[in-house]
Amino acid sequence: MRWMTLLSAAAVLAFATGASAQYPDKPVKIIVPYIAGSAPDVAARQAADRLTAGLGQQFIVDNRPGASGNIGAEVAVRAAPDGYTLLLMTGGHILNPLLYAKIGYDPLKDFAPITVITRLPSLMVVPPSSPAKTVAEFIALAKARPGKLNYGSGGVASLAHLSAEAFRLAAGIDYVHVPYKGAPDIVRGLLGNQIDVAFPTMPTAMRFAQQGQLRALAVTSAKRSQVMPDVPTLLEAMPNGFVQDAWLGLAAPAGTPAAVVERIHATLRDAAKDPAFRAALAADGSEVVFNAPAEFGAMLPGETETYRGLIKQLGIKLE
């Protein structure tokens, strides 16, 4: 019986190896759970172009926006685990199960991580009229005026909200949350001196800071941004500094053959050797990553626990 079991296992392995060697032999769909033109959509289309060129089949972006990314994720998790449906995953997919009572997927169990494409920091910015020219000066200003300053975000549990709240806790200050409908409104609030500080993502605020319309005090990444190298990180700028950035990654339904996952990763890793491709991905202030599937998978539990602790401390729960 043992030799029959070994033969069966060998047959399965041979079939899987053969199938993955031929992969892909038809078009592949990349589900992007956000609108066309968004940062995840742009990154997905750039990756899709390189996968199409490298693997000889069309990789097609399918936008499925809605419900904070949950609609697209639930479509992806129901797809066959054969490598022909992929998901543009974001940090929001880690956040959502911590925020909503009912979610149709488990981000740690239901997906096979392929690679993180980019990490995208937030930029701590104030109006040019602000007396604060450094993070330390802003903290001093906030402590001198407790509850009098305010910050803007794209709404409760948005990255800008969580970054601002993490800053409040780390700095030991008290300021007021002003929620807006989206990132452009945050910038308008800063330009109109309606809010005192905000933590929008780099693509939202970078151009305004570079042109002097906003003052950048810090970035929330682990290291300085290549596009704004003079701006310190929060780790540098304050004693209890922290890292909190967005990330964009590629994943497949759980059970997708490891050889298929590795083939996609290897194709993107090789494409990332092209300076033009890297420059295009980094133009908005992103850090290009393309780590290994195992590294991506190992990152997710830590991200989950970090956000779990912050959300619990803030007492956030969404319906």
Other CB atoms closer than 10 Å to residue 147's CB: what's the count?
Answer: 10
Q: Which amino acid is at 316?
A: I
C-beta separation of 237 from 217 below 8 A: yes
pLDDT at 33 over 90: yes
pTM comes to 0.87
Instruction: Evaluate whether 2-120+245-314 and 123-237 have a shared fold.
Output: yes
C-beta separation of 270 from 256 below 8 A: no
- Answer yes or no: CATH 2.60.34.10 is held by domain 2-120+245-314: no
| Spans of all domains in the chain | 2-120+245-314, 123-237
pLDDT number for residue 2:
43
pLDDT tens column, 63-79: 999 988 999 999 999 99
CATH of span 123-237: 3.40.190.10
pLDDT number for residue 254:
98
pLDDT number for residue 279:
94
Other CB atoms closer than 10 Å to residue 186's CB: what's the count?
Answer: 28
C-beta separation of 90 from 113 below 8 A: no
Taking residues 256-277, report their average pLDDT. Answer: 97
pLDDT tens column, 152-205: 999 899 899 999 999 999 999 999 999 998 888 999 999 999 999 999 999 889
